Amino acid sequence: MSDPQIAENGPQTAGSGTTTATSSQTAALSVRSLVKEFAGAAGTLSILLGVDLDLNRGDAVVVTGPSGSGKSTLLYIIGLLDQATSGDVTVLGQDISTLGEAQAAAFRNEHIGFIFQDHHLLPQCSVLENVLIPLLAGDGVSPADEERAKKLLERVGLADRITHRPAQLSGGERQRVAVCRALINQPELLLADEPTGNLDQATAESVGTLLLDLSCEENVALICVTHSLELAARFPRGLELRAGKLCQLSD
């Protein structure tokens, strides 16, 4: 993922060189001057120090950086699971800072899909039921919804597992179910936090391929944070959190 221009001119901020949404297309994500600080007994700890990021639907970006650099914090702020100290985050033209708690939950469920390191499947539910869970917060599950869930599970190779419980699945299979669940509402933005962190190398490679393929097929804007250099190398665009800011990832 090296870039001759980066190598010559040094690291650039993530906003430079990004694709600009056309007038007929609302950007999936726009982050401007994002700051996140934590107040503690020892003083204020600054995690994010002016992060900029733009994504359109169909874009896929990976964010790397050492533990504690703020990768997951950035993801959670974008996904309305945390709040920034200052700065602007716009998802699909919506300034998310203006949303109340109930509005934020509804917006997140409708427009944003999450995949975590731990799959967070409900053990008492079948594979199919786990995929359909996000729909329960809306108008309920329709026959068309159930058909979409089955097609997603077929796409990830789990058509013969829809009645199984999570305990009957391998780690890779459980994570594939989590991918389907994240996509069931046809979100415009997909956020993945160490999605292969608990998997062996071969399974991680398979899940990484699946994640990239499905995000392209579903025309979703994908942000993945990871420690895995192998996974990061497969993304068309790589960023790194350095001293609280996003920079282009270069070799």
Q: Is residue 58 scored above 60 in pLDDT?
A: yes
> At residue 175, does pLDDT exceed 90?
yes
What is the chain's mean pLDDT, rounded? 88
Give the mean pLDDT of 34-59: 92
> What does the DSSP assignment read for 96-118?
GGG--HHHHHHHHHHHEEEE-SS
At 139, the pLDDT band (50, 70, 90 cuts) reads: confident
Q: Give me 6's structure tokens.
A: 């980066």
Give CA separation, 210 vs 171, 232, 250, in Å: 15, 14, 25
Residue 231: what pLDDT?
Answer: 94
pTM, full prediction: 0.86
pLDDT reported for residue 19: 38
- What does the pLDDT read at residue 250? 63
Which residue type, as a one-letter code, is found at position 139? D
Q: What is the DSSP letter of 82?
A: S
- Mode of pairing for the β-strands spanning 86-91 and 29-40: antiparallel
- Which structure tokens are listed for 195? 């999605």
In this structure, of 18-27, 130-139, 148-157, the range with the lowest mean pLDDT score is: 18-27
The class level of CATH for 28-248 reads alpha beta
Q: Which is it for strands 60-64 and 237-242: parallel, antiparallel or unpaired?
A: parallel
Six-digit token pair at 191? 């956020």
Cβ-contact 94, 101 below 8 angstroms: no
Q: Is residue 169 over pLDDT 90?
A: yes
What pLDDT does residue 25 have? 61
Q: How many residues does the chain have?
A: 251
